[in-house]
Chain A
Amino acid sequence: MSTNKEAKAEFDAAPWAGKTKRYDIVKEGTIALVFVFVLTVVLSLIMSSPDEPPLTFKGWAVSNPDNLYATAVQELAGTSGTATYGGPYNNASDGLNVGPLWLQKWAGVTHPIDAANDFVITPLSTQVLAPEIANAVATWKSAADSQRQAWATAYDDAITKVEGKLSDVAVGAYGPVPVLAQGLTDMAKSGALDAALLSQGGFFQTDNTKQILFFGDGAYLDDAGTAANLQGGTWGMMNETGRYPGQAWLWLYSFWYQIPPFNNGESKPIGANADAYIMVIMGLLSLGLILIPIIPVIRNLPMRIPIHRGIWRQYYQSQGIKRRKM
C-alpha cells in the first residue's frame, strides 16, 4: 500500500515521459496580455473608478458643529475613543487580549497621542487667536492637571446629561473649556484645523494618524460610513463607495464579524475582543492555506471529489483511465 503511494509520488515528480504536444507559451502569454489589457481599458472606459472626496473637519464643523464641539470637550476631559484607547497611542487602557496574550499592551506606545494637547490645545496655539480664546488657552496651560480635569469632566458630564443639546447645558464651573471648544469649532469652520492637526506646528508631514483618530471620535465619519453602507456589521470593510466592487477578497475576514459571538461586543471573552480573535483566526487560516498540501483530509479532497475528471477529461478518455478508488 505505502509502496504504491511512493511509486505514485515518484511518478508525479518525474519528468513527463508520456505523450506531448506542441504548445507555444510565449504566444499564449502575449495573447493573454493583450486580452487583459483590452478588457481593462474597456472596463475603465465604461465604469471609471470610485472617488468620493475625503471628509474634512471644515465639513464636520459646518454640518454638525455641536458634535465637533462636544467631541473637543471629550478630548479635553479624556473620555473620547482616542483618549481612552490604549496602545499604541497611550496607556489609558490595556487594550484587547486573546486569552493570556495582551499583545496590544505588550507592543507598547509607539504612536503617542495626548488627545487634549494634540487635538485641541496645540492646533489652537498655531493660530492668531481672539483675545478671549487666547486667554482660555493661557488659563488651561497654566492650570494644574487636577483643575483641568475637574473643569473638563464637569462640562463633559453636563453635555452628556442633556444628550448633546448644548443650549440646555446647566451653568457650572467649567473654567476655559467652553471657550476652548468653541474656539476649536470656529477654527475648524475656517478650514484651518485639518492642516494644523496634521502638521502640529511642524513642516513636513506624511502621517495622518491624529487627523483620522480625532475624526473617528465624533459622529461625522461614523454617520458617513453608515450612509455609505460601510459599517463592519454589514460587511463594510469589503465594500467600496458607490456601486463599485470593493475588496471582495476580504470576505472571510468580514464574515466573522457577522456571526456570534464575534458580533456581540458584550459577550466575554470573545465578542469583547473580536478584533483580536478574528486576526488570530485569519492568521491561522492563512497558514492553513499555505499548508493545505500536508493537511490530512483536506489534501485528499481533490482525489475524493472528482472535479479533476472534468479538467483532464480528454486525457482520461484518450488513455481509457477509469476513476480509481483511493
Chain B
Amino acid sequence: MSQMWTAKLRNKWQKELPIEKLLPDDQPAYVSSWIYVFGVLTLATLAVIIFSGIILAFQGPAWYHISKTGKFVNSLHFWSVQLFFVFMVIHLWGKFWMAAWRGNRFATWATGAVAFIASIATAFTGYLVQTNFDSQWISFEAKDGFNSVGVGAWFNVTNLGQMLLLHVAFLPAILGVLTVVHVLMVRKRGVVPPIDSEPSPVNEASK
C-alpha cells in the first residue's frame, strides 16, 4: 500500500500542506502591518486582469476600437494591469526589506521574482496586441533588441498572431502556475518571522 504513488503523494501533501495550513484562521502575532496586504492586492488584481481579459478574448482584439462596451472592458484591463504592477512592486520591495527569503523561503522569493519577469513579458505582449499606433511603434522599436541577441528568430514581435496567442494563452498560463505555486509555498512555510525575532513564551492567552 505505502508503495503506491498515489498514496505517497497524498501522504506527502497531507503532511506538508494540510488544509489547516492552507486556510488557517490564525496568524503569528507579528503579522500586523499594511505591507502584508500588498501580496493579496496583487493576487486580487490579477483576478481582475484575467476576468477582463477573458471578456476581451471572446470578442477579439479589434472589438474595443469600435464598441463602447469594448472600450470600457479594455479600460478595465488596462487599469488593472497598471494597479497590478504598482501593488507587485510594493510587495517586492516589502519582501526585500523583510528579507522574506529567510528560513528556507528561497523558492518563495524565486517564484515571485520569476512571476515579476513573466508579468513584464505578458504585459509587453499585451501592448503589442492593442492593434493601434502604439503597438505598431513598439513592435518596430522592440524587434531590434530581440533580434540583436538572436531571440527574434523565434519570438517575433511584429507577428501579431504569435504575440496574440502568447499573450492570451501561454504567458498567462505560466504566470498563473507561478502564482499558485508562490502562494502555496507561502502557506506551506508560514509567514516569515521578523528579523531579530526570538522564541517567546508559547501562545499565552493570545486569542
A315 with B27: in contact, given A16-B190, A103-B149 (CB under 8 Å)? no
Name the contact of B28 in the complex, choosing from A20, A236, A248 (C-beta under 8 A).
Answer: A20
Contacts of B162 in A (CB 8 A): 206-207
CB distance from B93 to the nearest CB of A (A): 9
* Majority-rule SS of A interface residues: helix
The answer to whether A319 and B132 touch across the interface, beta carbons within 8 angstroms, is no
Q: Mark B71-83, 1 if CB is under 8 A from A, else 0.
A: 1101111111011
Name the contact of A308 in the complex, choosing from B31, B71, B98, B150 (C-beta under 8 A).
Answer: B98
CB distance from B77 to the nearest CB of A (A): 8
Q: Mark B143-154, 1 if CB is under 8 A from A, else 0.
A: 111111111111
**In the complex, what distance in Å separates the CA atom of A257 from the CA atom of B135?**
20
The answer to whether A107 and B98 touch across the interface, beta carbons within 8 angstroms, is no
Asked if A294 is an interface residue, CB under 8 A from chain B, the answer is yes
The answer to whether B147 and A87 touch across the interface, beta carbons within 8 angstroms, is yes
**In the complex, what distance in Å separates the CA atom of A226 from the CA atom of B61?**
26
The answer to whether B137 and A312 touch across the interface, beta carbons within 8 angstroms, is no
Name the contact of B101 in the complex, choosing from A11, A245, A293, A314 (C-beta under 8 A).
Answer: A293
The answer to whether A286 and B204 touch across the interface, beta carbons within 8 angstroms, is no
How many residues on chain A are close to B (CB under 8 Å)? 108
**In the complex, what distance in Å separates the CA atom of A180 from the CA atom of B131?**
30
CB distance from B109 to the nearest CB of A (A): 5
Name the contact of B30 in the complex, choosing from A43, A48, A208, A315 (C-beta under 8 A).
Answer: A315
Asked if A173 is an interface residue, CB under 8 A from chain B, the answer is no
Q: Mark A13-30, 1 if CB is under 8 A from B, else 0.
A: 111111111111110110
Contacts of A316 in B (CB 8 A): 194, 196
The answer to whether A290 and B206 touch across the interface, beta carbons within 8 angstroms, is no
Contacts of B164 in A (CB 8 A): 206
Which residues of A1-47 are within 8 A (CB) of B?
9-26, 28-29, 32-33, 35-37, 39-41, 43-45, 47
Asked if A126 is an interface residue, CB under 8 A from chain B, the answer is no
Which residues of A250-294 are within 8 A (CB) of B?
250, 273, 275-276, 278-280, 286, 289-294
The answer to whether A208 and B160 touch across the interface, beta carbons within 8 angstroms, is yes
A292 with B109: in contact, given A49-B79, A237-B142 (CB under 8 Å)? yes
Asked if A201 is an interface residue, CB under 8 A from chain B, the answer is no
**In the complex, what distance in Å separates the CA atom of A144 from the CA atom of B46?**
59
Q: Mark A218-244, 1 if CB is under 8 A from B, else 0.
A: 000100110010101000110011001
CB distance from B113 to the nearest CB of A (A): 4
Contacts of A95 in B (CB 8 A): 147-148
The answer to whether B200 and A319 touch across the interface, beta carbons within 8 angstroms, is yes
Contacts of B98 in A (CB 8 A): 302, 308, 311
Interface residues of B (CB under 8 A from A): 23-33, 35, 37, 40-41, 43-45, 47-48, 52, 64-65, 71-72, 74-80, 82-83, 85, 89, 94, 96-99, 101-106, 109-110, 113-114, 116-117, 119-120, 123-124, 127, 130-154, 156, 158-162, 164, 189-204, 206-207
* 18 cross-chain CB contacts under 8 A: A11-B197, A13-B103, A13-B189, A17-B203, A19-B204, A20-B203, A21-B28, A29-B40, A44-B78, A51-B74, A54-B133, A87-B153, A88-B152, A106-B150, A237-B141, A249-B85, A299-B101, A321-B194
